[in-house]
Amino acid sequence: MQANLDLTDRRILFELDCNSRQSLSEVARRVRLGRDLVSYRIERMQASGIIKRCCVMTNPYKLGLTVYKTYLRLETNKPRVSELVASLDAHPRTYWLAECYGEWDLVFSHLARTPKEFYDFQDRLFSDFKDIIVGFNVYTVVNYWWFPKKHLLGTRWKDEWSAAEELAPTHNRPVHGWSFHTPEFTFGTTPDEYMLDALEYKMVDLLGADSRLTCAELAERLGSTPAIVKYRLDKLSELGIVAGFRVDIDRTALGMTLFKVMVHLRDYDVGKELEFREFCRQHPHVSCYVLQLGDCKVEFEVEAKDHNEFNTIIDEVREKFSTHIRFMNYLTIRKDYHHRTRCLIFSPEFNEQGVGSGSLINERRASVIL
């Protein structure tokens, strides 16, 4: 059910989607509201389930992991499909999972350190569910950009963006004449093999559950000091392991549906691809942009009120990039399990059977958004 949110609520949500770790005072300054009123509104939206949680976004590629995305076409066997979904949802290497309407019925992303590791996982999965898997396609994600939900800011977004374009650099533009900025969160880029130590692992785990914990609160739970916690967190950010901090919002409360768009290009022109990526970054309804290896090199996701609004956005893309795009396929996301994984896979002791003695894998069974 769509929630009754006023523009101030939406401005607060947008700020948290840009940086959910910023202080109440900073959010209050940006939305021009008293600190206590901002706190009250955030607590109200948390209590009503509009805000599911505030979370840290990590870059698995910096930890030696690669994201492999699989699309599945399934037989109409509801009990077995439910078993497959439950199996993927429980797997510690599942990074994203969604049930769909359209050409594909299920899409999921899996983390693996090597192609062979992913192949072995896929082999087991396909063997276990060979009776219902009738088709599949696999892509290797190269780069992934998340964009804040600019549609939260309402209909004034387009005019205000145009007015602000000439006054600020591309990566740091004000929105609506307010003191908002539109960062982007990226994973992929240059891979690395950084291993989190015990303190960093526990810190990322805590921030996955609540990124608004202060350094003092983190230090108390970690048995450390605020200075050490701040230093470690700053280091992980500088290394690109921590990509940013966002808010997990109940999309139905916003009256929005998620659509995934697979773009098939006429030819791969770097300049045109950059132009298209910038178009997506600026568009208020585009929430992410993906570059990947496979027969479809580009994907993006759209949050729209309904199919009519989505079709209008697609018509806009077609008109502007008709010479660059050959055709597009679409999926409607029926149920989105969100970008998340269990933090235990980032532990240096993690393996598919468990962690260390095996006690941690049972202890960490609950999902942690990263």
pTM for this model (two decimals):
0.84
At residue 366, the pLDDT reads 30
Q: Domain boundaries in the chain? A: 7-53, 60-141
CATH (one of 1.10.10.10, 1.10.760.10, 3.40.50.300, 1.20.1560.10) for 7-53: 1.10.10.10
Domain spanning 60-141 has what CATH number? 3.30.70.920
Distance CA(256)–CA(306), nearest Å, equals 7
At residue 350, the pLDDT reads 56
- Helices (runs of H) and strands (runs of E) counted in the chain: 12, 13
CA atoms within 13 Å, Cβ hemisphere of 271:
1
Find out whether 369 and 248 touch, Cβ atoms under 8 Å. Answer: yes
At residue 340, the pLDDT reads 54
At residue 3, the pLDDT reads 80
The span from the first CA to the last CA of the chain, in angstroms, equals 26
> Which residues, given as ranges, of the chain have pLDDT below 50?
159-161, 163-181, 344, 353-370
At residue 75, the pLDDT reads 96
Q: Which alpha helices (DSSP H) does the chain contain, by range?
A: 7-18, 24-31, 35-47, 78-90, 115-128, 157-165, 198-209, 215-222, 226-238, 270-282, 307-320, 359-363
Distance CA(320)–CA(301), nearest Å, equals 17
Q: What secondary structure letter does DSSP report for 136?
A: E
